[in-house]
Amino acid sequence: MATEKPLLDVANLSAAYGQVRILQDISFTLAEGESLSVLGANGAGKSTLLRAISGLMVRRQGSIRMAGKEISTLRADEIVHRGISQVPEGRRLFFPLTVLENLEAGALKLRNTGRGAEVKDALASVFDLFPRLAERRGQVSGTLSGGEQQMLAIARALMSRPRILLLDEPSVGLAPKVIEALFGVLHTLKGTGLTIILAEQHVPMALDLADRAIVLRLGQIALGGTPAELRDSEDIRRIYLGG
C-alpha cells in the first residue's frame, strides 16, 4: 500500500538574517493532524524555524513542501492562503483595535479568497474555545491581561481556518494557571485534527502535546523522537545547560 504523503515536508532547510546563518540543514516531515514540538534553549533557532516556514525570513535555502507543493519561494501572505498561520512570540496584536476587530483582521484570508461566508462560523468557533474573548469582544485589545492577549493572538490565527498552526513561545510571561489553561486549549485544537508546530521552552507541557519533538542546538537538530524517548533525557538537560 502506498505511503500517504506528509502534509509538511521540510528538507535541508537553512535560514539566515542577512549574512548571519541561524539554521542549517533542518529536515522533518509532519503528517496531517500531527503535533510537533520544537525545543531548545534561547538562541537555538526555534523562532527562526517557524519564521522560515511561514515566509518571514529574508534568506532561505532548501525545500518546504505543503501537501506536495513547494512553498519556500512564496510570500508570507501567500503561505497563509495555502493554510499555514503563525502565532508570533510577543503576540503582535493590533492594540488600538478591539478584540472583534483583531479577529476580523485574522479573517482577511477568508474574505479575500471568496470564503467570507465562513467568517461567522470561524468567530463562533474561537468564541467557543475562548469564552473570555466573547465577553470582551468590544474591549480594546491593549487593555487585556497578558493571558487574554495570548488567547486573542491564537484566536486571530485560527480565524483564517489554517491546516497548520505555528505557535512561537506561547507560554512566555504567563502565570502557571494561565499556561495550564492555554495548553488545555491546544489539546482541544489537536483533538480537532489541526496540525500544530509548537516552539516552546516549557518542556513538560510541550512534550505532553507532541506526537514527536525535535531539539535544536546552534541551529541544527541535536535530538529527535517521541515524547517517551525524550522525556527526562539527560541529553536534553545537557543541551539546555550548554554542556
Per-residue pLDDT of the chain (243 residues; tens, 9 = 90+): 345 789 999 999 999 988 899 999 999 999 999 999 999 988 899 999 999 999 987 678 999 999 999 999 999 999 999 999 999 887 788 888 999 999 999 988 888 788 878 889 999 999 999 999 999 999 999 999 999 999 999 999 999 999 999 999 999 888 999 999 999 999 999 999 999 999 998 889 999 999 999 999 999 999 999 999 998 778 777 776 555
* Side-chain-facing half-sphere of 51: CA atoms under 13 Å: 18
33 Cβ partners below 8 Å, 6+ apart? 190, 193, 194, 195
**pLDDT value of position 65:** 97
Question: Do residues 213 and 227 make contact, with C-beta atoms less than 8 angstroms apart?
Answer: yes
Annotate 124-134 with b (16+ C-beta within 10 A) or e (fewer). ebbbebbeebb
**pLDDT value of position 2:** 42
At 66, the amino acid letter reads M
Question: Is residue 190 helix, strand or coil?
Answer: helix
How far, in Å, CA of 101 to CA of 17, rounded? 32
How far, in Å, CA of 60 to CA of 72, rounded? 7
Q: Please report the sign of the dihedral spanned by the C-alpha atoms of residue 128, residue 134, residue 140, residue 144.
A: negative
Q: Which three three-digit cell numbers place residue 148?
A: 487574554
SS3 for 192-220 is CCCEEEEECCCHHHHHHHCCEEEEEECCE
**pLDDT value of position 1:** 38
At 37, the amino acid letter reads S
